[in-house]
Amino acid sequence: MTSSAPPPTAPHNGHPGKTPLGVAAIGYAFMGKAHSNAWRNVASFFDVPAFEQKVLVGRDAAEVAFAAGKYGWAEWATDWRSVINRDDIDIVDICAPGWMHAEIAVAALAAGKHVLVEKPLANNLAEAELMTAAAVNARARGVQSMIGFNYRRVPALALARELIAEGRLGTVRHVRAAYLQDWLSDAESPMTWRLRKETAGSGALGDIASHAIDQIQHLTGQTILESSGVLRTFVTRRPGPDGPEEVTVDDAVWGTFWLTGDMGASVEASRVATGQKNSLQIEIYGTGGSLMFDLENLNELMFLDATAPVREQGFRRILVNEPEHLYMGAWWPQGHVIGWEHTFTHQIRDFLTAIASGEAPSPSFEEGLQVQRVLAAVETSANNQSTITVVEDASLFTEGA
C-alpha cells in the first residue's frame, strides 16, 4: 500500500533520493496494532514523505498473516533478520516486547535502516547503552533512530511544554506524576510475558512509570540527578497454563527525584489501582502558575495564572483543539476531540519528517538511555533501601478500637 502523500522535498539521508520508503513493523499485538493504525492513517492527514507498508513480522505465521491483511501491510513474515536486510526496507518499527529490542535495533541500524522502537528503550541498562552506541554510530551515516514515548505527542502536553518554556509558570519548583491502571487488580488475572523479569525487564516501573519520568524531564527541560524508590509486588503468583507461576516484576512503584534547576518531583505508578483504567496525571507547580493534566481527559489542560489578582485566580480549562495547537490543524474543526491513538499518528509524522529533513528526531536513543538510567536507579534504590521502625508494637494502637 502506497500513501498518496507527495514525495519528500529533500532526499532522506542513507538512501538519497529514494521514494517511497519501505516500512517493516516487527510485532502485531497491542503496540503493533497501534503503530499499524498510525502508519495506515498518517498520510491522510499530514504531508509526509511517501512510504509503503511493506511487511509485518511476527512469530506466529497464522496470526501475523491475519494481522497483516487487517492492518494494511502488503506482506507478512516470521523472520525479522531476513526482513531487515531487504533492499526495499528503509524503516524498521520495533513493536516487539522489550527483551527483543536490543538485538533487533542494533542489527537494523547496522543494516542502514532507520529505527523506531517502543519504550522503554530496553530491558536493562547494559542493553540500552549498547543500543545508544549503535544509534550514535548510525546517525553519523545519516541513519536516524527514535524511541516511542508517544505521550510527547499529546497536543495538551505539547502546549504545557510551550507554556513552561515561555515562562508562564515562573520557576518550576516541583512536579507530581501518577500513572495508574487496574488491569492486574484481580489476583486471578493470568500470567503474561509482562509479569516475567526475563521478558519484561520490570513491571509498572518500565511499563508506565517510564512515561511519567520522560514527561517530567521533557516538560520542564530539566534532568533527573538523584532518585530513590520503592517497588512492591502485591500478587506474587498468578495462574499460568500449567499452574501457578511466580511473578518476578513489580506491581507498583513510588519514586522521588531531584532535578537540575533545583526542582523536585515524585512519581507513582501502579497496575493494581482498582478503578483506574489508564490515568496519567501530571501536576506542575511554579512560582508564577500551575498546570494539571489527566490522560483520561487528554484534550484538556488546566492552567492557573498566579500572576493574576488573587480574587481572579483559579484553574481554568483549556480545550486543546484549536488549529494553533500543535498537530491539531490536520484534524477536525475546533471542539471535535481526538483520542489516544492519534498520539501514534503524530509520532509517525514526526519520525518521517525527521528522516526527510536529515535532522535527528526526538526523543533520541540518548534520551531513552537517560530514562533507562533513572529506572535502574529506582530499582537499585528499592533493592538497597533501609527500613526505619517507627512503632515497635502496632497492637498498642489497635487495642480497644
How do the domains of the chain map onto residue ranges? 1-154+339-363, 155-297+299-335
Sheet with 75-77: list strands edge to edge: 75-77, 51-57, 21-26, 91-94, 114-118, 145-148
Its CATH architecture, for the domain 1-154+339-363, is: 3-Layer(aba) Sandwich (3.40)
Cell 528503550 maps to which residue? 121
Q: Is the pLDDT of residue 16 over 90?
A: no
Question: What's residue 8's pLDDT?
Answer: 34
Cell 522521588 maps to which residue? 256
* Model confidence pLDDT, tens digit, residues 336-383: 999 999 999 999 999 999 999 999 999 999 999 999 999 999 999 999
Q: pLDDT band at residue 19, thresholds of 50, 70 and 90?
A: confident
In the beta sheet, which residues pair with residue 237? 246
Query: Cα(385)–Cα(211) distance, rounded to whole angstroms?
Result: 24
Q: pLDDT band at residue 385, thresholds of 50, 70 and 90?
A: confident
* Model confidence pLDDT, tens digit, residues 197-224: 999 999 999 999 999 999 999 999 999 9
% helix / strand / coil in the chain, to the nearest 5? Answer: 35, 25, 40
**3-state SS class at 301:** strand
Question: What's residue 331's pLDDT?
Answer: 97
- Same fold across 1-154+339-363 and 155-297+299-335: no
Query: Cα(161)–Cα(159) distance, rounded to whole angstroms?
Result: 5
Cα distances from 44 to residues 38, 160, 328, 348, 349, in angstroms, run: 10, 27, 14, 12, 11
Query: Cα(261)–Cα(265) distance, rounded to whole angstroms?
Result: 12
Average pLDDT, stretch 213-239? Answer: 96
The pTM assigned to this predicted structure is 0.92
> Kindly report the CA angle at 143 between 140 and 146, in degrees rounded to 5?
110
Question: What's residue 395's pLDDT?
Answer: 65
* Model confidence pLDDT, tens digit, residues 22-43: 999 999 999 999 999 999 999 9
Question: What's residue 242's pLDDT?
Answer: 93
Grid cell digits, residue 317: 480549562
Percent of the chain with pLDDT over 90: 91
Average pLDDT, stretch 88-114? Answer: 97
What's domain 155-297+299-335's superfamily in CATH? Dihydrodipicolinate Reductase; domain 2 (3.30.360.10)
Q: Is the pLDDT of residue 13 over 80?
A: no
Query: Cα(221)–Cα(376) distance, rounded to whole angstroms?
Result: 21
Q: Which helix (H) or strand (E) holds 282?
A: strand 279-286
Q: What is the dihedral of CA 53, 57, 58, 60, to 10 degrees?
A: 90
* Model confidence pLDDT, tens digit, residues 286-345: 999 999 999 999 999 999 999 999 999 999 999 999 999 999 999 999 999 999 999 999
